[in-house]
Chain A
Amino acid sequence: MGVLAIVLIAAFLVGIPIAFALGLASLAFLLKSDIPLVLIVQRMYTGVDFFPLVAVPLFVFAGFLMETGGISRRIVDLALSIVGPVRGSLGMGAVASEMIFSGISGSSIADASAMGAILIPTMGKSGYDNRDSTAIVAAATGMGILVPPCMAMVVLGGMGQISIGALFAGGFFPAFVMALAIGEPWLFLLLASVVILVGSAVLDGLPAIIILYPILLPIAVKLGIDPLHFTVVMVAAEGIGIVLPPVGICLIVICGVSKVSLSEVTRPLLPYIAVMFLSLLVIMYIPWITLVVPQHRKRTSHLRGAGQRPHRPQARGVGHPAGQADLPQRDRREGLGPGGPGRPLGRARPALPAGGGRQGNPLPGGHSFTAHGTQRADGFRALQARRAARRHDHLFRHHGRPHRRFRLRRQALCRIGGPETEPATGP
């Protein structure tokens, strides 16, 4: 492995284009260890012959269409008029328009070039220093990667057999956390010290994540980390990585647009990176931020029936038993075993009785989901009781121990709500 690292670092330093430096390093390694060189060509082919990667050029293409067609300009106008009256609005407007734009496009590079081309001159006219505006747009781009749709999520969802719809939903709140953090100036002062930590971590966009993700995901799953949450955290980390000097690809693109050199933008960018790192920590340690939206989606889609579940593409060559691949994500996760005390992240869930699943009675102790979501004209009290019952079931299912108040209302509901809300009497 020594040859690999030495050649790679030397090639990077000399300035050999990154793609060829990677190839050269593996070439050196193969030559040294007497492996047939045809492996290079073979791996080059299989590396790109992965259908979800089609999302990359198509998202970039969509981004450039939006730029040429004038959608981007209108998005900036919209964002500026929304945050208009607030002080320091242009910086926040930049962040807001980046959020809207990446909410439509899925490519950070397209975001970077489209938004940079419009925002940086606009901010320059209002007296922003070119370096500062470059830094703000770069930071916003790093955040924008979490706003669905996003090509990293498409690719990772394909690799990890995770519902891409759920990933998109999960990225939503973390994106807001990041957006608020970038808009909130006092946070940078607080966290300027974290910068040193971040500076050493050099990530490099989609290739790095494609290489690392398959290694890390099984470990994460084994540790009891929700794969959905883990993937969103990975994407968030990538978001920081792509704007991290000196190799962050989006930073390089934005610098190209604004004609500011990498070393000039580094200093104004550092506080933003610190804040983004903090938000990453927050997202990391509070899985709720990630999981609340997909769980809600899944809960309702579960009750609405099988037809409403998000589309899950079948990645090739991954041998899930057909029946298992059809279950919703949550049920598959529960197949990993009950949450023991060794779960550092994510919540421990009560072990379900065997045979519990979507078809059977999902809750132990004779509890069942109520048939909410349907309109019934039986008065406000019944509605209230049903709502409490729903909350009770949720708490019971996910935390094992609902509040006493909800339990009482759960019982009340059985009196009010009629026979169909009666708790089932066990399987």
Chain B
Amino acid sequence: MKKILSNFWETILAACVVVLCVGVFMQVLLRYAIKVSFPATEEIVSMSFIYTIFLGAAVGMKRMEHLSIDFLLQRVPPGLQNVLRLVVTAGTALFLFFVVREGIGFVRDSYTQTTTYLNLPMSYSYAAIPVSGLIMLYYLAKRTYAFVRSGGASAEAEGHS
């Protein structure tokens, strides 16, 4: 149980990928075997695809796996490195803040739109963006807190080596 909780987003993400795989596989199979495709399945697949992408981005933030160019970061003295890290965090947070703010408005505005076949509100899939933004902000704040507390001494794992 504890393991599931600590990997909460990963679990949901995995579920999305499973839905994606099964859905696409079924679509392909049906289209070739009985030459019928169900648009409803396609809507489910595309929604789970959207969630796969944005939850994936959130998990990437949690694990610091977002791709960055650390060319400069590797070549400056440690003091400046810490400053740069804070600048990176601030820049990322700024963007995420706008994403979340605008995303919530976007979801609210599109509440009346529904998908063609399942009649689900479009905002269900639009919601992926602010949700993912919030998760990313949370992990960003968590990491920055740890970073500041340790006085910048912690050699945090880079996004990639």
A positions within 8 Å CB-CB of B: 11-21, 23-24, 27, 37-38, 40-42, 44-45, 48-49, 51, 53-54, 57-58, 61, 246-247, 249, 252, 255-256, 259, 261-262
Contacts and interface: CB of A to CB of B under 8 A. Distances in A.
A20 B98 contact: no
B88 A15 contact: yes
A237 to B, nearest CB: 20
B135 to A, nearest CB: 14
A256 B161 contact: yes
Nearest to B87: A14
Interface string B79-117: 000001101100110111011011101100100000000
B46 A51 contact: yes
B46 A49 contact: yes
B12 interface: no
Contact of A18 (B17, B66, B98): B66
Contacts of B160: 252, 256
Contacts of B67: 17-19, 249, 252
Contacts of A58: 20-21, 24
Nearest to B128: A45
Nearest to B49: A54
Contacts of A51: 42, 46
Given A15-B69, A57-B52, A41 B92 contact: no
Across the A-B interface, give the 3 residue pairs with the lowest CB-CB distance, nearest first.
Answer: A17-B66, A17-B68, A15-B73
A245 to B, nearest CB: 10
27 contacts: A13-B71, A14-B73, A15-B68, A15-B84, A17-B66, A19-B57, A19-B67, A20-B91, A21-B91, A23-B99, A24-B92, A24-B95, A27-B95, A27-B98, A40-B98, A44-B129, A45-B50, A45-B106, A49-B50, A51-B46, A54-B49, A57-B49, A247-B69, A252-B160, A255-B161, A256-B161, A259-B161
Contacts of A40: 98-99, 102
Nearest to A7: B91
A13 B66 contact: no
Interface residues on B, range: 35 or more
Given A18-B69, A51-B46, A54-B45, A41 B53 contact: no
Q: Tell me the interface secondary structure of chain A in the complex.
A: helix
A269 to B, nearest CB: 16
A54 B20 contact: yes
Contacts of B45: 54
Contacts of B49: 48, 53-54, 57
Interface of B: 17, 20-21, 24, 42, 45-46, 49-50, 52-53, 57, 66-73, 84-85, 87-88, 91-92, 94-96, 98-99, 101-103, 105-106, 109, 125-126, 129-130, 159-161
Contacts of B106: 38, 41-42, 45
Given A17-B66, A48-B50, 5 more contacts: A13-B72, A16-B87, A24-B94, A41-B126, A256-B160
Contacts of B125: 45, 49
A11 B17 contact: no
Given A27-B98, A38-B105, A259-B161, A15 B72 contact: yes
Nearest to A17: B66
B68 A16 contact: yes
Nearest to A247: B69
Contacts of A11: 91
A299 to B, nearest CB: 25
